[in-house]
């Protein structure tokens, strides 16, 4: 073999020996299996990692994530492909936190007797620009909670944050850039930009959703049946969806310090 052929062969061998880039969740799942690290908190399990290690993607986006072509959630959204596998979310945003907002027991009389089922509303988020909510029904509470969390992950959206209040200063946005209204059934919730340090001036359910979204300062006003937990949570989430539909120029994005999704360093 000539020197040129040897050099080419060495380059090929070096390329083959390099590790394939993996999404953060997939890399953590592989490292957990090889090192055998124990969970950090009591009661914490490696269910997501086990599911990722056994994952056989069926959709185009899932195969791209599994092959290392897509490593971030921002790039996955930019492809325009629908997210239809929960493993995609586990791989791209492994640090998601979940919160069970509501558990209702529903009873129904049938010919065979009283039938009991449970209705669960859950929310997930990384407290840095991504949030989702989902609702599920089932016969057992633990299984229904897991089902609701799965639905919430599939409904995850990026959150538009910025300094929309005239009292806000320069720096990363901790509120929203513009006033927006969300609706669910008879409940209407209007989110208003607030200056840094004001806190979340909103109902308890909306506060839990906005905390998972990474918003720390907000004013609000509401109308309708605001005591309904499900409608209030959905109205808050729908307001964030409407916020993403707003047309904002590049100049306004710079002036209001707007960021969509995570704050990337």
Residue-wise pLDDT tens for the chain (265 aa)? 544 444 444 444 444 434 678 888 888 887 765 555 544 444 445 677 788 888 889 999 999 999 989 989 999 999 999 999 999 999 999 889 999 999 999 888 888 788 889 999 999 999 999 999 999 999 999 999 999 999 999 999 999 998 888 887 776 778 999 999 999 999 999 999 999 888 999 999 999 999 999 999 999 999 998 889 999 999 999 999 999 988 888 888 888 888 887 775 5
Architecture of domain 97-154: 2-Layer Sandwich (3.30)
Q: In the prediction, which pLDDT does 147 show?
A: 95
Does residue 201 come out as left (phi exceeding 0), alpha (psi in the -120 to 50 range) or beta?
beta
- The CATH number assigned to the domain with range 160-260 reads 3.30.230.10
Q: Cα–Cα distance between 173 and 243 in angstroms, integer?
A: 14
Are residues 101 and 233 in contact, defined by beta-carbon separation less than 8 angstroms?
A: yes
Look at strands 218-223 and 187-193 and give their pairing: antiparallel
pTM higher than the cut 0.85: no
Q: Cα–Cα distance between 104 and 136 in angstroms, integer?
A: 11
Query: 248: how many CB neighbours lie within 10 A of its CB?
Result: 15
Asked whether the domain spanning 160-260 has the same topology as the one spanning 97-154, the reply is no
Q: Cα–Cα distance between 23 and 72 in angstroms, integer?
A: 7
Q: Per this entry, what is the length of the chain?
A: 265
Kindly list the domain boundaries of the chain, sorted by start residue: 3-92, 97-154, 160-260
């Amino acid at each position: 073999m000539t020197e040129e052929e040897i050099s080419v062969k060495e380059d090929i061998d070096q390329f083959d020996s390099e590790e394939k880039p993996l999404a953060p969740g997939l890399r953590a799942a592989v490292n957990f299996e090889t090192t055998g690290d124990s969970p950090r908190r009591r009661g914490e399990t490696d269910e997501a990692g086990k599911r990722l290690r056994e994952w056989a993607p069926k959709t185009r986006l899932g195969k791209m994530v599994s092959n290392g072509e897509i490593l971030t959630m921002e790039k996955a959204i930019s492809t325009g492909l629908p997210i239809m596998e929960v493993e995609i979310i586990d791989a791209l945003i492994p640090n998601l936190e979940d919160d069970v907002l509501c558990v209702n027991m529903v009873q129904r009389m049938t010919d065979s007797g009283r039938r009991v089922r449970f209705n669960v509303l859950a929310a997930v988020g990384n407290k840095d620009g991504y949030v989702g909510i989902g609702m599920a029904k089932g016969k057992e509470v633990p299984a229904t909670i897991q089902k609701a969390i799965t639905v919430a992950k599939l409904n995850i959206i990026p959150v538009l944050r910025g300094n929309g209040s005239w009292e806000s200063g320069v720096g990363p946005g901790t509120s929203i850039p513009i006033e927006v209204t969300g609706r669910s059934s008879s409940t209407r919730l209007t989110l208003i930009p607030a200056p840094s340090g004001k806190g979340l001036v909103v109902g308890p359910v909306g506060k839990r959703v906005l905390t998972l979204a990474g918003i720390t300062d907000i004013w609000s006003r509401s109308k309708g049946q605001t005591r309904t937990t499900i409608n209030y949570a959905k109205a808050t989430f729908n307001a964030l969806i409407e916020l993403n539909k707003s047309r904002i120029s590049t100049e306004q994005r710079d002036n209001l310090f707007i960021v969509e999704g995570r704050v990337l360093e």
